[in-house]
Amino acid sequence: MGEGGRRWRTPCGVEVGRAGEPGAIGLALTVDRGAIERILANLIGNALEAVPRPGGHVWLDARSAVASDGSAAVAFIVADDGPGFPPGAGDRVFERFYRVDAARSGGGSGLGLAIVRDLARAHGGGAHAENLAPRGARVSVVLPVVPAFAESG
């Protein structure tokens, strides 16, 4: 997943790079700016927490996609070469307060990916988590180009 883009190294020794095709820039969608910033910050923050330091890798990508209803969408993808999710945790990682390793000291509250999923759904999109082989994880958020904002109430 680490092909095709610019790379930089964080102060903690994790290499961050853009994945995907170099010419895949110029995607447009209508979204709440604060929501997309929160989605990306949570995804990138989780990936940085999961990878080994120094020497871990995080890859970012944005590409054209198709929403579940067949409409045009944009997919935001964050992948890493950390340990991945435990077997069967793919859906659970989006539950509030779920932590992959509850015994781990520090870390987060278990709300980050729940917030990601809730914000994606509020825009008419969704979120998906999966393991990569031989190791690592990928979390994708697909948002429709024209959002179908969820009704409040």
Instruction: Tell me the domains of the chain and their CATH numbers.
Output: 7-144 (3.30.565.10)
Give how far the C-alpha of residue 45 lies from the chain's centroid of Cα atoms, to the nearest Å: 9
State the Cα–Cα distance between residues 48 and 31, nearest whole angstrom. Answer: 25
Taking each helix axis from N to C end, the angle separating 33-50 and 112-122, rounded to the nearest 10 degrees, works out to: 150
SS3 54: coil
Alpha-carbon torsion (96, 62, 75, 88), positive or negative: negative
State the Cα–Cα distance between residues 7 and 76, nearest whole angstrom. Answer: 17
What is residue 19's predicted lDDT score, i.e. its pLDDT?
Answer: 78
Q: Is the pTM of this model over 0.85?
A: no
Element (H, E) at 42: helix 33-50
pLDDT lower than 70: segments of the chain: 1-5, 20-26, 101-108, 147-153
SS3 22: coil
